[in-house]
Amino acid sequence: MEEVHVNVYIHAPVERVFDALADHERFLSSGDGTRTKVVRPGLTEHNGLGAVREVRVGKRIRYVEEITAFERPSSFDYQIVESTQPLRHHGSRLRFTPRGEGTEVDWTSRFDITLPLVGKSLGSLARRMFVAAFTELLLAEKARIEASQPARAA
């Protein structure tokens, strides 16, 4: 099993960071062609528990993910329930921890590549690709949030 772990500090209150990253359609969109659509709203809020989102990366990669836990503002989990990629997903979690004047975001994901014979070596490559993608998404969000922060008193 492969595990991805990415940690980014964002200089903003935990509630603001949680809201930004739980906005699936806005957060999971990027200049590389990644786009996301909520195909089923959550039980008590649009992006919350039970929501199903479709994530497309370019023209060929597609994931359907269900939000399986949603604890505002501390964490949310998701499970890939359908994918064009040969993988078995064991779950992902985004955790938000207040640190000083900001928020530490931890994103973890566990998966296996399901191709016989080459799955193990491809898993290592996929892990590196997911680390790069998750880091890029979090750093882009960090820049957006921090750029729109009200000026702090000196």
Per-residue model confidence (pLDDT) at position 72: 96
153 has a pLDDT exceeding 90: no
Per-residue model confidence (pLDDT) at position 151: 60
Per-residue model confidence (pLDDT) at position 40: 97
Per-residue model confidence (pLDDT) at position 148: 87
Tell me the pLDDT of the chain averaged across its residues. Answer: 92
Half-sphere exposure of 147 (CA within 13 A, CB side): 6
- DSSP bridge pairs for 69: 77
Q: Report if pTM > 0.85.
A: yes
| Mean pLDDT value across residues 136-152 | 86
